[in-house]
Structure 1
Amino acid sequence: MELLLVEDDNHVAAVLSAVLTRHGFGVRHARTGGEALQALTSEGAEFDLVLLGLDLVDMDGFEVCGEIRKRTGAPVIIVTARGDVRSRIHGLNLGAADYVVKPYDTGELIARIRAVSRRTVSKDIVEGVRTVLYLGSLIIDLPSRQVSVDNSFIRLTPKEFDLLALLAGRPGVVFTREQIMDGVWHNSGAWTGNTLGTHISSLRAKLPVPALIEAVRGVGYRIVPPAEG
């Protein structure tokens, strides 16, 4: 899981980054609100979650939270010393998935990160209570964001996983480019004309059956159900 840590204190960021890395997270540190927003919209940026401090040197953290929600579907956990009820309510109303007050136990923070990740499954991907998708021997576990075939895991980037899960949620259904860009990139603007094609090519190269993803000329893409292949 790739995290964007937005924290103005370099020492705090270094300690927390080290702890998160030991627990298997990839961490990128942004010291200011401007750096955070630039990181989110840079080419190839793919973050699963944002840890956001509120006391930043260039922007109010609440303003940054609002801008993040406009640019990405990645959930935001606010981590701050501001523990008053009004701040908590404001942060959650802005779209934060959780609000953690300093000082905190790092074990609890990691548990909260994982809890938010488990429940952050797009309604465009999951219907009803389906949390695991099967395509022949390919297994897509949505809560854990893991893909496996014959008990071997396939390492995907966050956007590659979102793309596969979106298409696999409705095998045989053609998704237009616009639907895919909206469902995976959330119209964030953090993509170019080649973004979708590049991700499709990379995803096909990692799948045991590249032809599982079929291009429908002039429209978009679909998953070919195993029975058809």
Structure 2
Amino acid sequence: MLRWFPIYGHGSTFTISLPRVTLKEVGLNNEGQSRKLSHEIMVIEDDINLAELLKYELMDSGFHVSYFKSGRKAFQKLKSSPPDAIVQDILLEEGEMDGWAILRELKGSADLNEIPVFVSTALDEREKGISLGAKDYLVKPYKPSQLSKVIMHTLLTNGKQGQILIPQAFHGENKG
């Protein structure tokens, strides 16, 4: 029969670091208390009904959402006030800056290339979207909560700065 008796002061030490989510102050709620929304998300979608669905789904998940119908206007705004993430359609109004052009411009900009872009479109060209720098590519229709989950996971993962501490083994030394 094998018995194990731990020796006090010897053994493994584990350190766990969890990501910190920084919340931004945004306005007051009905009771006059400050409310918190976690991240700024820009939605670029020319279908107003779909844009409203995306906006409310993201807001219900705690995101602050700005909406743009025009790719050109959205790109101008994000240059002056970059969001934490972008949700965009590929097929935007004719004559406008389409989703492919937005991806190329973003990923070619030293100031904007780190912004994660989530494509939400009916166009099934996932490989092209990912190769141009999209963080994820969702083909409509998809579950409404899927977009929020993907964005939150990405933003939390990008904020991780965890570490694992592995102490040196004593190899039979008795330090007491």
TM bin (shorter chain):
0.5 to 0.7
- Counterpart pick for 2:97 among 56, 59, 70: 59
Amino acid at match of 1:76: V
Partner of 1:49: 85
Partner of 1:116: 154
On the 8 A contact 2:119/2:129 being kept in 1, the answer is yes
Matched-pair identity in %? 31
Relative to the length of structure 1, the TM-score reads 0.49
Partner of 1:74: 115
Amino acid at match of 2:86: V
Partner of 1:174: none
CA distance in 2, matches of 1:32, 1:61: 10
Relative to the length of structure 2, the TM-score reads 0.63
Q: Larger helix proportion, structure 1 or 2?
A: 1
Amino acid at match of 1:50: I
Question: In structure 1, the residue corresponding to 2:97 is in which secondary structure?
Answer: coil
Amino acid at match of 2:141: P
Question: In structure 2, the residue corresponding to 1:40 is in which secondary structure?
Answer: helix
Distance change (3 Å), C-alpha of 1:94 and 1:121:
farther
Partner of 1:2: 40
Asked if 1:89 is matched to 2:122, the reply is no
- The two structures, once aligned, show a CA RMSD in angstroms of 1.8
Task: List runs of 5+ in structure 1 lacking aligned partners.
Answer: 132-229
Asked if 1:22 is matched to 2:63, the reply is no
On the 8 A contact 2:87/2:118 being kept in 1, the answer is yes
Partner of 1:40: 78
On the 8 A contact 2:57/2:148 being kept in 1, the answer is no
Matches within 5 A, 1:198-213: none
Distance change (3 Å), C-alpha of 1:33 and 1:120:
same
Report the CA distance between 1:120 and its aligned residue.
Answer: 2.3
Question: In structure 2, the residue corresponding to 1:100 is in which secondary structure?
Answer: strand
The structure with more radius of gyration:
2
Report the CA distance between 1:48 and its aligned residue.
Answer: 0.7
Q: Which of 1 and 2 has higher RCO (CA within 8 Å, sep 6+)?
A: 2
Which runs of structure 1 show a deviation greater than 6 angstroms over 4 or more consecutive aligned residues?
Answer: none
Amino acid at match of 1:130: Q
Report the CA distance between 1:59 and its aligned residue.
Answer: 2.0
On the 8 A contact 2:57/2:145 being kept in 1, the answer is no
Residue deviations 1:127-165 (CA, integer Å, cap 9, x gap): xx439xxxxxxxxxxxxxxxxxxxxxxxxxxxxxxxxxx
Question: In structure 1, the residue corresponding to 2:154 is in which secondary structure?
Answer: helix
Amino acid at match of 2:42: L
Task: List runs of 5+ in structure 2 lacking aligned partners.
Answer: 1-38, 165-176
Report the CA distance between 1:32 and its aligned residue.
Answer: 1.4
Partner of 1:130: 163
Number of matched residues?
121
